[in-house]
Amino acid sequence: MPISKRIVVKVGSSLLANPDLLTPRWAFIQRLLEDFRLLRDQGYDIILCSSGSVALGLKMIGETPETAGLRDKQAAAACGMPLLLNAYKQVGTEYRFDIAQVLVTLRDMEERKRFLNTKNTIDRLLDAEVIPIVNENDSITTEEIRVGDNDRLAAKVAQMVQADHLVILTCIDGLYDKNPEEPGAKLVEEVEDVSQYLAVTTGTSDLGSGGMLTKMQAANMAQNAGCVTLIANGEHDSPVSSVLFNKREHTRCLAHTEPASAWAAWLTDRLQMAGSIVVSSDIVDAFEKEKMSILREHVQSIQGPYVKGDVIHIYSEDGEEIARGLSNFSSEETMVLTRNMNMPPEQLLGYKTRGTIVGKDNLVRLEEHHLQWDSPEDSASVNASSS
Ligand SMILES: Nc1ncnc2c1ncn2[C@@H]1O[C@H](COP(=O)(O)OP(=O)(O)O)[C@@H](O)[C@H]1O
Ligand SMILES: N[C@@H](CCC(=O)OP(=O)(O)O)C(=O)O
C-alpha cells in the first residue's frame, strides 16, 4: 500500500452527539463509515481521530456542557468512551469494518519513545485492516498534562503515520475570513500561511473544545509534515470523499515542502512547551549561516522546570523563537552549568559530560512556515548568570 493513500480523519463532538439529548448521532456515523468503506475499497488507509466521549458521557453523571468542570469532563469521558466505541462498532459491522480503540496522552506524543510505540501500534492495526480510533485519554489527564483538543492531536497522528491528507470534519463549512457570525464573512478556500488567520478564530460551537484556532494550529503542524489539511462541514453525504475529491466547498491548507526528516518534524511541532532558554545574539547570528550546538556560554536565561530529554524552545534576546531542540540537561542542571562558567561541567554535575546544552544534531531551526510560540513570561524566567 503506497503511503500516499493514508488519511487521518478528525471528527468533532458536535457531529457525534445530539446537542440536546447528548446521544450518539447514528445517522452521521452511518454516513461516515459508509464513506470509509468506499475509500477503503479504493485502497485508502484510514485513521479516525474521534471526539465525542465527553459529550456522550455527560448525561450519565448528571452534567451539561455548560456546567461541566474538568473533573466532570474526566468522569464523563470514562462514561462516554464505551458509548462512542459501541456506536462505531455496531455501524462498523454493517460496513465490514473492525475497529480498535487507541487512547493516548500528551506524553505519548511528546516523548519520542512513546510516540514511536504508538506509531507501531497504529501501523500494526492498519496492517490488519482494522480502523484505529484515536482519542485523548481524557479521564486520566489534568489541565497541565493534556493536549486538550483533538485537532492538534489528529495533526500529530497525521505526522506520525506520514499521512498525505488530514480531513477535519466539523459543524461549519471551513475557515472564514472573520468571525462567521459577522455579516459578510467569507469562506477561505485555500490557506498557505495559517498565521494570517489566527486572530479571526475565536469561539467554539456548544460542544466543541478548540474552535477554529486549534484547527489552524493543527493545519500548520500537518503542513510542516508535508500533509494537506482539508477542513469541511461533516453534515454531508460522503463527508470525507466529497472533500478529498474536491466535490464541495471546504478550506484547503496547503502542505509545505517535505520536512528534513520524520525526526525533525516530530522535534519541531510540539503540543506543549516543556521549557525554554534565551540565547545570546552571537549564536543567533551564527545560526543564520549554519546550525551550531548551543553551549553553556550562549545561555542567557532559563525557563523551566524541564527534564533532560525534553524539547526546549530557543529564543533570541528580543523574544523571537529561533529553534527547538532536545535538551541534554534538566533546567536545574542547565542553571548550575551556566552560573558556574569557571568550573568544568563534570565537576559541577558529578558525571562525565562536555556540557553541551543542545547538540546541533538534536536542533531544528524554525523556518518561516513554522508558527512561533510566544516566549514565556519574563517574570517567570531565571537569569542564567545572575549569581
Ligand atoms: N474564522 C472562523 N471560521 C470558522 N469557524 C470559526 C471561526 N472562528 C471561530 N469559529 C468557530 O469554530 C467552531 C468550530 O470549532 P469547534 O466548535 O471546536 O468544532 P469541533 O467540535 O468540530 O472541533 C465553529 O462553530 C465556529 O463558530
Ligand atoms: N477528547 C474529547 C474531545 C476534545 C475535542 O477536541 O473536542 P472537539 O473540539 O469537539 O473536537 C472527547 O472525546 O470528548
User: Per the domain annotation, does 172 fall within a domain?
Assistant: yes
Cα of 165 from ligand 2 centre, angstroms: 20
The distance in angstroms from the start CA to the end CA of the chain is 59
* CB of 185 closer than 6 angstroms to any ligand 1 atom: no
Distances (CA, A) of 262 to 158, 256, 369: 11, 14, 17
Residues 60 and 191 in one domain: yes
Q: Nearest ligand, CA of residue 50?
A: 2
For the CA of 203, the nearest atom of ligand 1: 9
**pTM (2 decimals)?**
0.94
| 233 and 313 part of one domain | no
Q: What is the mean pLDDT of each run of 10 residues along the chain (387 residues)?
A: 77 95 97 97 97 97 94 96 98 96 96 96 97 97 87 97 96 95 96 92 82 95 95 98 97 88 93 96 88 95 95 95 97 97 96 96 92 74 53
Joined grid coordinates for residue 74: 474526566
Domain-embedded: residue 365? yes
Pocket of ligand 2 (CB under 6 A): 12-13, 51-55, 77, 135-136, 138, 149-150, 207-210
For residue 292, the CA-to-ligand 2 centroid distance in Å is 40
Q: According to the model, what pLDDT value does residue 1 have? A: 43
Is 305's C-beta closer than 6 angstroms to any atom of ligand 1? no
Range of 196's domain?
6-265
Look over the chain and give the mean of its residue pLDDT values, rounded to a whole number: 93
Same-domain check for residues 69 and 199: yes
Q: What pLDDT, on the 0 to 100 scale, is given for residue 178? A: 93
| 167 and 303 both lie in a single domain | no
Do 168 and 112 lie in a common domain? yes
Look at the chain and report how many structural domains it folds into.
2
The residue contributing the CA closest to ligand 1 atom 12 is 211
Q: Which of 265, 298, 317 is the last residue of a domain?
A: 265
How far is residue 160's CA from residue 45's CA, in Å, rounded to a whole number? Answer: 14
pLDDT in tens, 28-87: 999 999 999 999 999 999 999 999 999 999 999 999 999 999 999 999 999 999 999 999
Same domain for 46 and 94, yes or no, is yes
Cα of 208 vs centre of ligand 2, distance in Å, is: 6
Q: Going by CA atoms, what residue is nearest to atom 3 of ligand 2?
A: 51
64 lines ligand 1 (CB under 6 A): no
- Regarding whether 282 and 182 lie in a shared domain, the answer is no
> Does residue 261 share a domain with residue 285?
no
Q: Is the CB of 232 under 6 A from ligand 1?
A: no
CB 209 within 8 A of CB 150: yes
141 CA → ligand 2 middle, Å: 13
Q: Residue 3 has what pLDDT?
A: 45
Q: Specify the pLDDT at position 386.
A: 45
**Does 311 reside within a domain?**
yes
Model confidence pLDDT, tens digit, residues 253-300: 999 977 778 999 999 999 999 999 999 999 998 888 888 999 999 999
Q: Which residues have C-beta within 8 Å of that of residue 284, sequence separation ≥ 6?
A: 316, 317, 322
DSSP 53: H
Choosing from 265, 281, 296, the residue where a domain stops is: 265
Residue 179 domain-assigned (yes or no): yes
Q: Is the preceding peptide bond at 305 cis, omega within 30 degrees of 0?
A: yes
Considering the domain architecture, whether residues 50 and 135 belong to the same structural domain is answered as yes
Whether 54 and 98 map to the same domain: the answer is yes
Set of cell numbers at residue 145: 498534562
Residue-wise pLDDT for 69-84, tens only, equals 999 999 999 999 999 9
- Answer yes or no: do 159 and 294 share one domain: no
Among the bound ligands, the one closest to the CA of 206: 1
Residue 116: which residues within 8 A CB-CB, separation 6 or more?
A: none
Q: Which ligand 2 atom sits nearest the alpha carbon of residue 84?
A: 13
CATH number (domain holding residue 240) = 3.40.1160.10
Q: How far is the CA of 287 from the centre of ligand 2 (A)?
A: 39
Which atom belonging to ligand 2 lies closest to the Cα atom of 153?
Answer: 6
Q: Domain check: are 260 and 303 in the same one?
A: no
